[in-house]
Structure 1
Amino acid sequence: MDPEDLQRLVTLKMPYGKYKDRLIADLPGHYLAWFAREGFPAGQLGRLLALMHEIDHNNLRELLTPLRDKRG
């Protein structure tokens, strides 16, 4: 994992779909689970969605709070 990926979760937005323009860190768990079942997209977006799914699945969303606070 690229250490910068955690920061990307709280800065990059979903580029398409029902949750377009929502921060990846704010995507609902059921949406992330759907990607896990159906397949994550290729590239950086897929890697970030998979990471966010793991964070959500393991109930670790609180780990992103300090990164959100850093953003202002």
Structure 2
Amino acid sequence: MLPDKQFLIDLAHAKMPFGKYEGRFLIDLPEYYVVWYHSKGFPKGKLGDMLKQVYELKLNGLEDLIRNIKRQYPKK
């Protein structure tokens, strides 16, 4: 299932709410950290869904897609 437009806009502006990378945009998390979550298990809820999407984007080299969305749809 493909994510919807609003999910991608929200993802572009989402920041890590806790831990070593607290406050960093999810798309800017180091790849090894997202891979670690993939092997450990993503959190439940929207954060987990977003981290799963970040994993897929990084796996396919598509991080710039989210960075472009962030520029195109500035947070209000």
RMSD after superposition: 1.4
Aligned partner of residue 47 in structure 1, secondary structure: helix
Letter in structure 2 aligned against 1:14 = M
1:67 maps to what in 2?
A: 69
Question: Matches of 1:17 and 1:10 in 2, distance apart?
Answer: 19
Task: Give the Cα separation in 2 of the matches to 1:27 and 1:5.
Answer: 18
Q: Distance in 1 between matches of 2:54 and 2:16?
A: 12
User: Which 4+ stretches in 1 moved above 2 angstroms?
Assistant: none
Determine the C-alpha separation between the residues in 2 that align with 1:15 and 1:31. Answer: 14
- Kept in 1: contact 2:12–2:67 (CA 8 A): no
Higher RCO (C-alpha under 8 Å, 6+ residues apart): 2
For normalisation by structure 1, the TM-score amounts to 0.88
State the 1:69 CA deviation.
Answer: 1.4
In structure 1, the partner of 2:41 is: 39
Q: When the two structures are aligned, how many residues end up with a matched partner?
A: 72
